[in-house]
Amino acid sequence: MNRLHQLEEESIYLLREGFFRFERMALLWSMGKDSTTLVWLARKAFPGPLPIPVLHLDTGYKFKEIYEFRNRLTRRWKLDLRIIGNRSALEQGMGPHRGTEECCDLLKTRALRAGLTEHRLEAVALGIRRDEHGVRAKERFFSLRDSEGHWNYLDQPAELWEQYATSGEAGGHIRLHPLLSWTEIDVWEYVRQERLPVVPLYFAKNGCRYRSIGCEPCCQTVPSEATTVEEILAELAVTTTRERAGRVQDKEYAMQKLRSLGYM
């Protein structure tokens, strides 16, 4: 069994474990390479129509390529897509110009919390990885959130012998992280192996590409000539630049504060 097979088996096991333990669970899909891999794994874990709804947290500031990709794949994969967001904040003019911390809190953290409440979800699976950011490296496969969506990163239970904490305080929920053990290179190798579709922004155009995608005003390109998955893998083998170096919120200490308050 090679590494990709082991990672796939672990992720499928975690998805099935979550589905078994929680009556109401959903997948969070940002249309990035990681969350698209997560949706693909879920389709493998549950043959037939995917029995788990897919949530898109729409801030209103995503790239048009992300929306096009979402609509195309939703039809192709027959997903039960549910779009959530903070319409009230958007109508009042909230956006990145108001500052990363306030914007992410209102358009992502609070919007996600409201969406989980609206759909009465006990758990939500996300495609985060430990190697993305030092704060995410503190996570567990099953991560407890309180009734306000807050995460106590200073009190993380050990996960030994596949024993997971799957219940917390009343009104709280679980964040399930099936890709936690994966690396950026693992994901791209899996994309190549499975021939997964990805948003074209990941491929170089005019000497630049996006290595991490999200809200358009908060993402920056990196110099690159990689126009294929093979070329991306070759580039990653020698790069010294962090994956999320082009994400504005990752340049601030606020990332840990945002995540403690419920940010992805």
Average pLDDT on 15-27 reads: 94
Average pLDDT on 13-24 reads: 94
Q: Is residue 32 a contact partner of residue 199, using CB atoms and an 8 Å limit?
A: yes
pLDDT of residue 154: 65
Buried/exposed code over 150-179 (b: 16+ C-beta within 10 A; e: otherwise): bbeeeeeeeeeeeebebebeeebbbbbbbb
Domain boundaries, the chain: 3-183+251-260, 198-250
Summarize pLDDT for 45-67 with one digit per residue, the tens: 998 999 999 999 999 999 999 99
Q: For residue 52, which phi and psi values (nearest 5 degrees)?
A: -120, 130
At 142, the pLDDT band (50, 70, 90 cuts) reads confident
Which residues 6+ apart lie within 8 Å of 88 measured at CB? none
For the record, the structure tokens of 97 come out as 């110009």
At 253, the pLDDT band (50, 70, 90 cuts) reads very low
Which of 141-150, 152-161, 183-192 shows the lowest per-residue confidence on average (mean pLDDT)? 152-161
For the record, the structure tokens of 195 come out as 């021939």
Domain 3-183+251-260 in CATH 3.40.50.620? The answer is yes
Summarize pLDDT for 168-178 with one digit per residue, the tens: 666 678 899 99
pTM score above 0.85: yes
Q: Is residue 203 a contact partner of residue 227, using CB atoms and an 8 Å limit?
A: yes
**In the predicted model, is pLDDT for residue 151 greater than 80?**
no
